[in-house]
A and B are shown apart, each in its own frame.
Chain A
Amino acid sequence: EDKVVQSPLSLVVHEGDTVTLNCSYEVTNFRSLLWYKQEKKAPTFLFMLTSSGIEKKSGRLSSILDKKELFSILNITATQTGDSAVYLCAGGPGRNQFYFGTGTSLTVIP
């Protein structure tokens, strides 16, 4: 059965800390992995990863994919209260099907 597992389920940190969120996957004919940030409403897209070992960066956020070990990490450096959200990852075989993990709930305390 295809699945995506995220860890930890929840995380509380102080502003300025660096966090690493984990996503492991077992997806048949895997093609891409997506990261989203969900605050109060709809998820917003962060990254799409298709190649192993190539880091993608956007400001204080970065992500990398390891297709051999079947996982991805999302790093957030110098966290801010605005980073508080649920972070979702999803893996898909590229036929418009994606399996989402249960998400990691991040709370950043001032």
Chain B
Amino acid sequence: DTAVSQTPKYLVTQMGNDKSIKCEQNLGHDTMYWYKQDSKKFLKIMFSYNNKELIINETVPNRFSPKSPDKAHLNLHINSLELGDSAVYFCASSQGGASSYEQYFGPGTRLTVT
């Protein structure tokens, strides 16, 4: 009964490749997020998305693109991977609206680009 799940847990790939990370939540939440956590543990939001609005952090390269086939899924696609993309990527979800921003995080995907 995992709330937010991500696959794969680990991903090792070479520079220049294109890869995707999948995220699914079974909480019925209407907003999903992608975060990048670097080696210094700094957690940075990349995208937030609900069925109405995609908010993109302007510092995210356009090689990164979120894709949402339905409300329960938000996948992260990365083109032309670079060494600096190595990090742990967390997916999260929340029930949007004014009263709650409590976010539930997935277990993370450790991406290593060689």
Contact = CB atoms under 8 A, between A and B. Distances in A.
* Interface core residue of A34, A43, A45, A96 (most chain B CB under 10 Å): A96
Given A100-B43, A102-B42, A41 B101 contact: no
Interface residues of A, number: 23
Interface stretch (B13-21, B79-87, B105-113): B105-113
B98 A88 contact: no
A48 B100 contact: yes
Interface of A: 32, 34, 38, 41-45, 48, 86, 88, 90, 92, 94-100, 102-103, 105
Interface residues of B, number: 28
B35 to A, nearest CB: 8
B42 A32 contact: no
B25 interface: no
A44 B106 CA distance: 10
Contacts of A48: 100-102
28 contacts: A32-B101, A34-B103, A41-B107, A41-B108, A42-B106, A43-B43, A44-B105, A45-B102, A45-B104, A48-B100, A48-B101, A92-B101, A96-B31, A96-B50, A96-B55, A96-B96, A96-B101, A97-B45, A97-B48, A98-B45, A98-B101, A98-B103, A99-B45, A100-B45, A102-B41, A103-B42, A103-B43, A105-B41
